[in-house]
Homo-oligomer: A and B are copies of this chain.
Amino acid sequence: MRRLLAGLHPAETAHLLESLPPTERKICWPLINPDLRGDVLSYIGEEVRTDLMTEMDTADLINATEDLDTDDIADILQDLPDHIVHEVLRAMDSQHRRRVEAVLAFDEDSAGGLMNTDVITVRTDITLEVVLRYLRMLGELPENTDSLYVVDHDDHYLGTLRLSQVVSRSRSLLVSEAMSHQVDPIPANMSDRDVARRFEKHDLISAPVIDKDNHLLGRITIDDVVDVIRDEAEHSMLSMAGLGEDEDTFAPVRRSVNRRSVWLGVNLLTAFLASWVIGLFDTTIQKQVALAVLMPIVASMGGIAGSQTLTLVIRSMALGQINDKNQRWLLRKEFLVGASNGIIWAVAIAIVTVIWFNSLSLGVLIGTAIVINLIAAALAGVTIPLTLKRIGIDPALSGSVLLTTVTDVIGFTAFLGFASMFIV
């Protein structure tokens, strides 16, 4: 087993650990080469990582984090208690410590928290020949270095000098002539999602990070951004089921029970609300039991149609596609889609109902309720996430609960209410 593990890339070891149930995970972890543990940790999702780190003592942690990139170290340290962070930092040499502290000073979810501080800087007034000599003197360049950054005496960011320019342009050219301004520097307090969006939009590989006075602080490379992009894209799906972004599929039973039961409890409230609405019409149902048989159809069609609209709107909001101008257009569109699909399926359901229960009025009743509920679902699917966002609540997390409440209540009220008025 130990031999098998030794042959794996740290990323593969991380993947293996994430796919193991907790007991096996704990057996496997000590078998991993201590020098590689830091690397492995940097590839593991937050939840599993925290579990593994609680098993390590401080000496292990110091050993494991020794050879990592500053952003990876900062990322790992952020999950630990302060006194351990302090000890790990104390064990580093002062240059290294200063770098890690610089990254730790920023929020984990900001450009500063994503960045690496191991940049190579050059001045404007030297030639590419001198740059080449300088690089050769440095020897090994930091991993994934594709650009050097141009700064002045006070470390103000001036421009980017790509390695592809250094090797392809004339050696007598000055840095100031060969550098580019194509990539805007990223402010350290920009959120990681905005950073990801900028990388995606402009097909960036790396970008410089600056403070508010335009001092160069570090660089972000795309391999760090890829994780943000995946997390962001998965966030909506997991939130809509009441799950966390970093949820460990192989978490211990007790932890999963605690987390998920909260979500079930929230949903139970909406289920009771729906029951209460039905309860208002219990005498109607007693007289015409077919209503009880058919009512789940009304609620379920509304729920499905609403969640289609909701999913699309939440995704478009995450991609930044929705603005004040197109909101009204979208609301009108979804209204028309809801009404059209409502009419199409109302007719189909009405026909089945008439045949099944041999009652024309029951068919007209359920058809009407379906049209009303699908329109309500479409409107709720647009307005709920927009409103939640405006008041600062994550639409992916609470949107689906609210939507189901709306479609259940409106569906049952329309169906049973009309029944009590016109049929029974």
Contacts and interface: CB of A to CB of B under 8 A. Distances in A.
Number of copies: 2
A154 interface: no
A264 B170 contact: no
A243 B311 contact: yes
B201 A223 contact: no
A-side interface size class: 35 or more
Interface in A57-93: none
Given A138-B168, A146-B163, A250-B330, A267 B132 contact: no
A329 interface: yes
Given A9-B202, A15-B201, A345 B260 contact: no
A297 B285 contact: no
B321 A15 contact: yes
Contact of A264 (B285, B305, B330): B305
A337 B271 contact: no
A308 B261 CA distance: 11
A316 B267 contact: no
A358 interface: no
Contact of A275 (B11, B205, B294): B294
A205 B202 contact: no
A213 B218 CA distance: 42
Given A223-B205, A253-B340, A304-B267, A297 B275 contact: yes
* Those 3 A-B pairs whose CB atoms lie nearest each other, nearest first: A233-B233, A237-B237, A292-B292
Interface of A: 9, 11-12, 15, 18-21, 43, 132, 135-136, 138-141, 144-146, 163-164, 166-171, 199-205, 221-223, 226-227, 229-230, 233-234, 236-238, 240-243, 247, 249-250, 253, 256-257, 260-261, 263-265, 267-268, 270-272, 274-275, 278-279, 282-283, 285-286, 289-297, 299-301, 304-305, 307-308, 310-313, 315-316, 320-323, 326, 329-330, 333, 336-337, 340-341, 344-345, 348-349, 352, 404, 408
